[in-house]
Structure 1
């Protein structure tokens, strides 16, 4: 999905977690209110990219499969019509760095309160906390919806 986003742009981080699904829905509703578009950003890193002990290549990662999973996640969360209005971006790099770069010039960046690796008792996940402290635009942190 390589849609042109004209007008205000809302960036949302997606990682498959319930918090990111709630953030995605929030971002789409907000973009509708301001007449803007949504960039759904998923980041991936190579194993060992920032450490010394792990191998430099993640042999289990398949970028094409990851793109398909991102598209499927958008469709399952927003429905086919909603997902068709969102630009899906799969970007290699540290999730915090990727989101901060993507949010440059955006109306807002929206993240879930916890990612897939978050601790249940923590108030904020590390990605959402770093984005909140370093983004150059307003940041919205969304908690997962109650079931």
Structure 2
């Protein structure tokens, strides 16, 4: 069921893959994009099985593990995923911005992100991307495969935050169309925290 909003509240999804790039994207969103009345969803798509990842093949040694051992590995990885997602969300807690951690399992991260963003009714999605040098940008000005797919296939604006190579700043790439449900990014100042925020979690297959 999509999360409900009232009044002018926005639903903002932050797609994370538990990397430094994702951690930076969350911090950037808190400092530059989110409003105090936004409802934030930390969205993570983890591999269907710990034996497989988006960029790795199966390990013959791991494949020999019995079902009990594999189940234990799955449970430990689920716990790790929740713990790491909570760590990434700390800037939201510090800023007292309400959020929910939404974890799903799928073998195709980029497609599932777009499906979940639509299903949850997000007004925009923010995601991190590794920064690249000027020389590389001139030869190959492309985003990563996941962020590039989301920019072209999500049904809402996509803000891609590059992890800066130095302290000089960050390059933001966004896609906005006439049907956008949210305005372009802008700098905001958050008010002092008033109440504590309790995180909500959900994990789906």
TM-score range, shorter chain: 0.7 to 0.9
Partner-residue secondary structure (3-state), 2:35: helix
How far apart are residue 82 of structure 1 and its match?
3.4
1:30 — aligned with what?
33
Of the three residues 48, 66, 69, the one matched with 2:81 is 66
2:109 — aligned with what?
95
1:89 and 1:41 mapped to 2: Cα distance? 5
1:17 — aligned with what?
19
Cα RMSD (Å) of the superposition? 3.1
TM-score (norm 2): 0.54
Number of matched pairs: 135
Once the two structures are superposed, the pairs formed by residues 1-147 of structure 1 within 5 Å of their partners are: 6=5, 7-28=9-30, 29-32=32-35, 35-45=37-47, 46=49, 47-48=51-52, 54=58, 55=63, 59=70, 60-61=73-74, 62-75=77-90, 78=91, 80-82=93-95, 85-93=98-106, 94-104=108-118, 105-114=121-130, 123-145=142-164, 146-147=166-167
Q: Is the 8 A contact 1:21 1:144 kept in 2?
A: no
1:24 and 1:44 mapped to 2: Cα distance? 18
Higher radius of gyration, 1 or 2: 2
Q: Is the 8 A contact 2:92 2:98 kept in 1?
A: no
2:88 and 2:53 mapped to 1: Cα distance? 26
How far apart are residue 79 of structure 1 and its match?
6.3
Where does structure 2 lack aligned partners over 5 or more consecutive residues?
168-205
1:119 and 1:92 mapped to 2: Cα distance? 29
Q: Does 11-20 or 125-134 show the bigger shift?
A: 11-20
How far apart are residue 32 of structure 1 and its match?
0.7
2:143 and 2:85 mapped to 1: Cα distance? 23
Where does structure 1 lack aligned partners over 5 or more consecutive residues?
none
